[in-house]
Each structure stands twice: as structure tokens, then as C-alpha cells.
Amino acid sequence: MKSVSQLIRSALGGEAPADKPVPVELLLRAGALNGERPGWDARSQRLFWVDIREPALHMFDPATRNDVSWEMPAWIGCYALDGDGGAMVALATGLYHIRLDTGTLTPFAHSPFDARRFVFNDGRCDPRGRFFGGTMYLPLKPGDMSGDAKKTPLWRYDGGGRWTAVTDPVAMSNGLAWSPDGRTMYHADTEPKTIWAYDYDLDTGTPTNKRVFAQVEVKDASGGPDGATVDSEGFYWSCIYANGEMLRFDPEGRIERRVPLPVKYPTMPALGGPDLKTLFVTSANHALSPEERALHPDEGGLFALEAPVPGVLPNLFSGDYR
């Protein structure tokens, strides 16, 4: 039986030229309110992902198209797999460890923000296994804050319940990724449509020398750069929320190719599959009315397409969770 990568590669007949549509396959009509944070696990040959707003951690098998999930007691923004078959999950109430064999959740650290007003959004581990998490403003009482009060920084977990702010405050933290050598960190804020690059110190886990990597143009004011991944050539792939596309930037921040997607609200890409050349893409449908969801059932689905080069394996959490 051919893998998803092989099937898509056969359909393409080789690499697709830049800025040309490529075949995109719907793998799972998940109907996710806010699908996010896809990540490949080479050990199990499965794709993990989350639905933030219908909170659950999911595990998808591309070979069988079977999707299993672990429901969460609070909104889940992101996760990081560990080396022992478990994962760290960032819920609105804090950081937890989950045993995937039993589903048991163990509290690990309180959130570094007011959980009445913010939730974790995008996050992952750096190349040394440190956990980072960003936020978005999602208050229990809508409209209770305004302006800069609605912003928080990107947070690094330092163990022992301690968090450290490592960036300036942003409105909607997204696009966190590292270059293949770990020396450059990328971070985006969806609202101002901006992606930044930083020099990154692997020994201390500290980003410095902030500069604009790319400014994204969108048709819909609600859109902007969402989740991202970096491939083995150091190119940065960004899903453009509400713009129905994915952009591949070269290491200097120039758009190398533009990939149209069959949904308006793509959220995040991840490279995986046996050869790490399948681009998995999550999406969302929470911005649609129930009537619109019925007319566009693929919104909120999980998709795949062939990448021109392989990705790199995700970083595992290396902290003490026992």
C-alpha cells in the first residue's frame, strides 16, 4: 500500500513549479473548530494535532485514516511529545503531562497569565527540549480589556513552575519555529500580519536581535500569518489564516512560492510521513456560521500535499515531568 507521500508525489509527477497550484488531498473531514499544531511522530508514524476550541489532543494514522483523541478539561493551545510515549499539553489553566496509554493528566505548572482572559495558542519545544508557549486573548467576559493590555509575550518554561517572558507582548502569538541549525527563531503576531526573526542562543534559550522577517498582505482583515514550520533547507512555511493559502519564505524572508489551499482558514503546516516530505495542514471553521459549515464541510479538515524537500523531526520535551 502506497503512503500518502507516494500517492501525492505520483499525482504531481515530480516537484511543482513555484507559485503553481498543487494537488491537495483531504485526509480527514474533522470539522475542527480550531484545528492547530500538527506534528509528526516518527516512532509511531502518526500525526498529532489539537482542536483548541473543542479541546482535545488528536492522533491521526495516515495509513488507515483513523483518528483517536484525548478530551481535555480546558482549552488546549499546543503540546510537545516527550521521549517516553507521553506529552506535555498547554491548557488554559496550565501545563500538564498526559500519559497517552491511560489518558491520565498530571498538573505540572500554572499558566503564566490570567486564565480568565488568555489561553495558550501556538507553542512547541526548541532544539534543546525547552517548552515555549504563546497566547491569545480570549476572555470569559468579552471586551473587558483593550489595547496593549490584551497582549502577552512568548513564554519559556524553565522548570519548577517558573516561566520566563522571552519576547515583547503580542496580540496573537503564532508561527513559532527554529531554523535547522537552531540559531534562528521565528515568531509571528497574526493581528499586525508580521513575522519576526531572532538570533537564538541554544545554551540559554534566549532570542535576541529582533527584526522583521516578513510582512504579510491579506484580503481579509481578520487574517494573517498563523502556524508555521521550517523545512530541511531552512525555508519557512506559513499558513495564512483567512487567506486560503500557504507561503514558503526563503531564509531572507522572500516569498519563494505561494500554495493555494481548498479552505479559507488554514492554520498550521507540519512536515511528516516516512520521508518527511508530506505537508500536513490543519484548518478551522469557528469563524463560520452553522449554515456556512454545512455548505463548506471541508473547513476544519486535515489536508496533505507534497513538499519539495523534506522537513526535520519535531523537538521532544526534555524536562522533568515525573
315 is annotated as contributing to ligand binding: no
121 is annotated as contributing to ligand binding: yes
Determine the Cα–Cα distance for residues 164 and 153; give it in Å rounded to an integer. Answer: 9
Helix, strand and coil in the chain, % to nearest 5: 5, 50, 45
Give one DSSP letter per residue of 31-78, joined into a string.
--SBEEEEEEETTTTEEEEEETTTTEEEEEETTTTEEEEEE-SS-EEE
36 is annotated as contributing to ligand binding: yes
Active-site residue (options: 226, 250, 275, 298): 226
Is there a catalytic annotation at residue 226? yes
Determine the Cα–Cα distance for residues 315 and 126; give it in Å rounded to an integer. Answer: 6
Burial 19-40 (b: 16+ CB within 10 A, else e): eeebebeebbebebbbbbbbbb
Task: Give the phi and the psi of residue 306 in degrees, each rounded to 5.
Answer: -85, 135
- CA dihedral 228→81→121→237, nearest 10 degrees, is 0
Determine the Cα–Cα distance for residues 57 and 154; give it in Å rounded to an integer. Answer: 22
Candidates 116, 38, 110; CA nearest to 79 is: 38
298 is annotated as contributing to ligand binding: no
Which positions make up the binding site?
Answer: 36, 121, 174, 226
Catalytic residues: 226
Which positions make up the binding site for substrate?
Answer: 121
Which positions make up the binding site for a divalent metal cation?
Answer: 36, 174, 226
